[in-house]
Amino acid sequence: MDSQTDLKQERRKQILDAAEKVFTQRGFNKARMDDIVAESGLSKGALYWYYKSKDEIILALMDRFFAGEMQAGEELISTEGDARQQLEVFFEAAFKDVRRFEERMSLGYEFFSLAARTEEVRDAIRGYYRRYQAILSQIIQQGIDSGEFISIDPDDAATAAISILEGMALMWFIDPELLDWDRIGDLPTRIFLQGIMKREL
Amino acid sequence: MDSQTDLKQERRKQILDAAEKVFTQRGFNKARMDDIVAESGLSKGALYWYYKSKDEIILALMDRFFAGEMQAGEELISTEGDARQQLEVFFEAAFKDVRRFEERMSLGYEFFSLAARTEEVRDAIRGYYRRYQAILSQIIQQGIDSGEFISIDPDDAATAAISILEGMALMWFIDPELLDWDRIGDLPTRIFLQGIMKREL
DNA sequence: TGAAGCAGACCGACTGGTCAGTCTAGGATG
DNA sequence: CATCCTAGACTGACCAGTCGGTCTGCTTCA
């Protein structure tokens, strides 16, 4: 029972790993099941033993993709420090993630374009962002309570913060030169923070 | 020669209009050439008379798409007022555009995911953003020169501004509720502006 | 002990549908 | 007679998904 379950997990991982690689390189539509078969080292029969269809693989991959992206964010909430420091850490970690997931970014945009036509995908992405927003909103609320930040709707400010992150990721994806991390550094973070911090008059 | 050219233009427009509608609804891959034929009211022969392939239509559509998006931005540079006002007008116009292009947004994300695998697409989008950045950078430079804004790299600040716009468009695409324009209004603009404006100490 | 039975995991040749693009046989316009 | 079409049948490649079959390990029971 146990080693059987392990095998199942192992095989599913094996298939999703292969699918991730193939889908990233060729996109959902150009990728053939036979590519995934070849990449996974399994057979077509095995592949269809574990997943009923290509769509099922895509959906399973999506779950894994956004769950993975989420982890970094979720862990952050326990960070020490005042709201400003927490946001700084958050942004910094997020930027690092963007660079770390470089190759996987195109997969993200595959999901976005799928989202337009597939409710299931849209809902998954939505859930992901809402959880993200909740975390940031909480931090910002702290900052408002402690008098660090100006009086502002924390949900909206959180949405704005995520927008900045996602926008920068997009820009970097399209034109890495325009957005040289070493040069631009934490500029957007600084702009955002200065934008919401209380001024000392 | 003249009315012939007109007819050519007209037919090409007819085809691209149909393609835009079909691609927006079904995505590049699910959309069939026969769908575009039906939508355009022309025949398959006519379609292939004007465009050699599906890819050629996609590329032509891309040029039109980004050229259209660009116009609004290009016109802005002549706007009156100081840098702050110009940026405010710019952001406001951009947000209006997002809402106006609601149905066409999914097409944009089709292009983004294509960009990962097609240099021609990547270059086109890149060019579009660079022109956009140049405009914003110019305005921000003005603001720095006039002492309105803090000393900052205008190119980087412009990149940050575009990131905010694009990020918000993305968020809205995925979750319009999270980003209710009437509620969130010009918050991101205000945050950005406060972030780069000189403080009166 | 070992033969028989069985189920779950897996193999890969094959099928059947789909669809981009072609082609034929015209017709109109200028 | 060149250009701009119409109508739509057709071809050929491509590929998701199927299906008959194999292999391995476990259980049963004589």
**Is B9 part of any domain?**
yes
End-to-end CA distance of chain B: 67
* DSSP assignments along B75-133, one per residue: HHTT--S-HHHHHHHHHHHHHHHHHHTGGGHHHHHHHHHHHTT-HHHHHHHHHHHHHHH
Mutation for A interface: B109, B131, B144, B165, most A CBs within 10 A:
B109
**Is B182 part of any domain?**
yes
Mean pLDDT to the nearest integer, A172-188: 88
Question: Do B44 and B70 share a structural domain?
Answer: no
State whether B106 and A129 contact (CB < 8 Å): no
**Is B87 part of any domain?**
yes
Question: Do B165 and B134 share a structural domain?
Answer: yes
Looking at the complex, report in whole angstroms how far the Cα of residue B3 sits from the nearest Cα belonging to chain A.
39
Cβ-Cβ contacts under 8 Å, A194 against chain B: 194-196
**Is B65 part of any domain?**
yes
Question: Do A184 and A88 share a structural domain?
Answer: yes
Q: What is the CATH number of the domain that holds B16?
A: 1.10.10.60
Q: What is the CATH number of the domain that holds A171?
A: 1.10.357.10
For the ranges A31-40, A106-115, B63-72, B157-166, the lowest mean pLDDT is seen at B63-72
Mutation for B interface: A26, A111, A113, most B CBs within 10 A:
A113
Q: Is B104 exposed, middle or buried (0-12, 13-18, 19+ CB in 10 A)?
A: middle
Question: Do A35 and A113 share a structural domain?
Answer: no
| The predicted structure's pLDDT at residue A201 | 40
State whether B195 and A199 contact (CB < 8 Å): no
Element (H, E) at A56: helix A54-76
Nearest CA in chain A to B122: A174
* Alpha carbon distance A89, A189 (integer Å): 10
Question: Do B176 and B83 share a structural domain?
Answer: yes
Nearest to B167 among A25, A163, A190 (CB): A163
**Is B11 part of any domain?**
yes
Among candidates A71, A70, A52, A72, which has minimal Cα distance to A60? Answer: A52
Overall domain count for chain A: 2
Question: Do A177 and A136 share a structural domain?
Answer: yes
For the ranges A27-36, A184-193, B15-24, B32-41, the lowest mean pLDDT is seen at A184-193
Question: Do A165 and A105 share a structural domain?
Answer: yes
**Is A117 part of any domain?**
yes
Which one of B51, B71, B86 terminates a domain?
Answer: B51
pTM, two decimals, is: 0.92
Question: Do A82 and A13 share a structural domain?
Answer: no
- Cβ atoms A171, A65 nearer than 8 A: no
State whether B112 and A115 contact (CB < 8 Å): no
State whether A116 and B191 contact (CB < 8 Å): no
Nucleotide nearest to B35 (CA to C1'): C19
**Is A201 part of any domain?**
no
Domain of residue B130: give its range.
59-196
| The predicted structure's pLDDT at residue B201 | 40
Res. A21: pLDDT tops 90: yes
Question: Do A12 and A98 share a structural domain?
Answer: no
At A124, the pLDDT band (50, 70, 90 cuts) reads: very high
Which one of B51, B70, B90 terminates a domain?
Answer: B51
Question: Do A139 and A120 share a structural domain?
Answer: yes
Token duo for residue B26: 């079904």
The CA radius of gyration of chain A, in Å to the nearest whole number, is 20
Question: Do B64 and B44 share a structural domain?
Answer: no
Question: Do A186 and A161 share a structural domain?
Answer: yes
Residue pLDDT, tens place only, B131-159: 989 999 999 999 999 999 999 999 999 99
* Distance, CA of B44 to C1' of D8, in Å: 9
State whether B113 and A117 contact (CB < 8 Å): no
Looking at the complex, report in whole angstroms how far the Cα of residue A6 sits from the nearest Cα belonging to chain B.
35
Mean pLDDT to the nearest integer, A166-194: 90
**Is A162 part of any domain?**
yes
